[in-house]
């Protein structure tokens, strides 16, 4: 019995030593950080893609409606217009071109015979047409363009043209260099071939149309140079009744 106890005691001593030896020890010192690795090589940029095709332009929108004419416009403009293109040199020698539509006519009786009439004497018919840039009642708006055309044997196979009286006042030619001059002038021109074209006169409606071309010499206009006028007359002329 005493021998067994002796062995048990020895066994307990050995186990105690084993437990003590298995107990956690103190943490060791942290190791040194490793060296940072080398950065890798950047990759090659990819190729740019091609631009896409431009789209087609859209369709133009429809034009808006014309505004209503002002009060009195129809009364002033109903007898037609003269469309004029002018070409020449300014007083300083610089070439110019300009175009304008003269629309208005006087409706006052005392002036109709001068501005918008047809008259006949023997075999000579004279058409007088004058039109303005704006309403002629205003003293500051007196720019006009006039034509007096003489026709022999109107409507007959022997019809021919006599002379053309061209006269104009107060047109302002403005250049792109912001310089201007007033263009006035007048001349009686014996009509030659090609000066009057597309002539037509309707005796029932007094509707008169023709194309014209005339050159005024330097001494007959304020540019001090030759000026060529081309244009179209599209008017309705009036005939005065003779009073007894």
Tens digits of residue pLDDT in 51-109: 888 888 888 878 777 666 666 667 768 899 999 999 999 999 999 999 999 998 877 78
- Over the chain, what is the mean pLDDT? 86
Mean local confidence (pLDDT), 154-177: 96
Are 116 and 103 a contacting pair, CB within 8 Å?
Answer: no
- What's the CA gap between 235 and 240, in Å, rounded? 16
Question: Which DSSP letter does residue 122 get?
Answer: T
154 φ, ψ (degrees, to nearest 5)? -55, 130
What is the Cα 107 distance to its own chain's centre? 34
Beta strands in 64-219 (DSSP E): 80-89, 95-102, 116-121, 124-132, 144-152, 160-174, 180-190, 196-202, 207-216
Are 128 and 117 a contacting pair, CB within 8 Å?
Answer: yes
Residue with tokens 């047809």: 118
Question: pTM for this one?
Answer: 0.70
> How much of the chain exceeds pLDDT 90, in percent?
58
Separation of first and last alpha carbons in the chain: 184
- What's the CA gap between 203 and 119, in Å, rounded? 12
> How much of the chain exceeds pLDDT 70, in percent?
82
- What's the CA gap between 4 and 197, in Å, rounded? 156
166-183 pLDDT, tens digit per residue, is 999 999 999 999 999 999
The per-residue pLDDT for 10 is 61
- What's the CA gap between 183 and 169, in Å, rounded? 7
Mean local confidence (pLDDT), 145-171: 97
Per-residue pLDDT at 42 exceeds 70: yes
């Amino acid at each position: 019995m005493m021998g067994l106890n002796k062995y048990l005691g020895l066994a307990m001593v050995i186990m105690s030593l084993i437990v003590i030896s298995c107990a956690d020890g103190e943490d060791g010192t942290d190791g040194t950080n490793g060296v940072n690795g080398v950065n890798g090589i950047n990759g090659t940029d990819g190729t740019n893609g091609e631009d896409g095709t431009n789209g087609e332009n859209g369709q133009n929108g429809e034009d808006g409606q014309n505004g209503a004419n002002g009060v009195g416009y129809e009364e002033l403009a109903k007898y037609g217009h003269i469309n004029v293109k002018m070409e020449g040199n300014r007083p300083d020698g610089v070439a110019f071109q300009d175009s304008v539509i003269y629309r208005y006519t006087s409706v006052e009786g005392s002036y109709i015979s001068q501005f918008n009439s047809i008259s006949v004497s023997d075999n000579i018919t004279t058409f007088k047409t004058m039109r303005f840039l704006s309403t002629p009642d205003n003293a500051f708006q007196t720019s006009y363009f006039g034509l007096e055309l003489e026709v022999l044997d109107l409507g007959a196979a022997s019809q021919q043209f006599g002379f053309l009286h061209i006269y104009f006042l107060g047109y302002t030619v403005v250049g792109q260099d912001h310089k201007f001059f007033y263009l006035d002038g007048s001349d009686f021109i014996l009509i030659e071939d090609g000066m009057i074209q597309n002539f037509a006169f309707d005796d029932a409606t007094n509707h008169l149309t023709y194309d014209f071309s005339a050159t005024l010499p330097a001494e007959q206009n304020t540019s001090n140079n030759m000026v060529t006028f081309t244009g179209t007359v599209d008017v309705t002329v009036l005939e005065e009744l003779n009073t007894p």
